[in-house]
Amino acid sequence: MTIADATWVRWASATFTGARHTLWLTGAAGPALDRWLADLPEAELSVRESLVADLRIVAVARTGEQARITLEALTVEA
What are 15-53's pLDDT values in tens digits? 999 999 999 999 999 999 999 999 998 898 888 899 999
Instruction: Please check whether residue 34 lies inside any domain of the structure.
Output: yes
Number of folded domains that form the chain: 1
Q: Are 25 and 11 in contact (CB under 8 A)?
A: no
Instruction: Please check whether residue 6 lies inside any domain of the structure.
Output: yes
Instruction: Please check whether residue 66 lies inside any domain of the structure.
Output: yes
- Report DSSP state, residue 47: B
Q: What tens digit of pLDDT does each residue of 55-75 get?
A: 999 999 999 999 999 999 999
Instruction: Please check whether residue 18 lies inside any domain of the structure.
Output: no
- Do strands 17-28 and 2-12 pair parallel, antiparallel, or not at all (unpaired)? antiparallel
Question: What is the rounded distance in angstroms from the CA atom of residue 27 to the CA atom of residue 37?
Answer: 12
